[in-house]
Amino acid sequence: MEMTGIMISVAVVGGVGLFIGLFLGVAAIWFRVQVDEKEEAVLAALPGNNCGGCGFPGCSGLASAIVEGKAPANACPVGGESVGKTIAQIMGVEAQESVRMTAFVQCRGDCDKTTLDYNYQGIEDCRMLSFVPGGGAKSCNYGCLGFGSCVAACPFDAIHVENGVAVVDKEKCKACGKCVEVCPRHLIALIPYDAKYVVACSSKDKGPVTMKGCDVGCIGCQLCKRNCPADAVTVADFNAAIDYEKCEGCGACAEKCPRKCIVTH
């Protein structure tokens, strides 16, 4: 009797297991997701950082967008030109030229060159300083706050705070744009890696105000603009800007700048 019970139990368990196995097998076939081989190949070619710098949710999102024609083959800022060419070959399209970009902090107002309104003691997060009187201790309301929110956001260890100002290592930077997004003062920009000269200031204050708060702030004097032979420099809101497509890298703007806020990159 006991043996019969055991046999029945084994049969029941075996039958249930067989049923579940068959059910799962049929379900796997019925509900399987069709995988696009091209999409898989594109995904394999991407670096896999999932930084979102391309504007899509991770590398899988970008791979899908490329295959669907919603993004170009060279859309990955991390992979750069080499990855773009590989993906173009997979997609059977002509590889497009891409310009390597890098992040740049438009500020040189470190602890030695700026004045302080008070000594700040509190949460060291740049985004929190919007709730602090004056937007922070530095007199300049446009300069780097220096608490490293950009450093924490960078997935490539390409940006660090040096003497109160964030500085980008252009060799490590992949132009993912994370630091650009997180900076509450919007003074980090993506510029061409090959740019010769840059304006390291974002101040829009009038000259006397800027001079009072920072030793290296742009005062909008327009000497850089007047001396540029390529007409590549413009001045608006008391702040100079360089058109990198026009710039010939002669250095005349940096040489004439009385505040030395135009520097080599």
CATH 3.30.70.20 assigned to domain 101-191? The reply is yes
* Fold entry, domain 195-265: Alpha-Beta Plaits (3.30.70)
**CATH says 37-91 is which class?**
mainly alpha
- Cβ neighbours for 176, distance < 8 A, ≥ 6 positions apart: 49, 51, 52, 53, 77, 78, 154, 155, 156
Query: Could you list the pLDDT tens digit for every one of the 265 residues in the chain?
Result: 466 766 777 676 777 777 787 777 776 666 655 556 888 898 999 998 888 888 888 899 999 999 999 999 999 998 888 899 999 999 988 888 888 999 999 999 999 999 998 888 888 899 888 788 788 889 999 999 999 999 999 999 999 999 999 999 999 999 999 999 999 999 999 999 999 999 999 999 999 999 999 999 999 999 999 999 999 999 999 999 999 999 999 999 999 999 999 999 9
- List, by residue range, all CATH 1.10.15.40 domains of the chain: 37-91
Angstrom distance (rounded) from CA 57 to CA 53: 9
Across the chain, where does the E strand assignment appear? 101-105, 159-162, 165-168, 188-192, 197-199, 233-236, 239-242, 262-264
What 3-state DSSP class applies to 161? Answer: strand
Model-level pTM?
0.79
Within the chain, all domains assigned CATH 3.30.70.20 are found at 101-191, 195-265
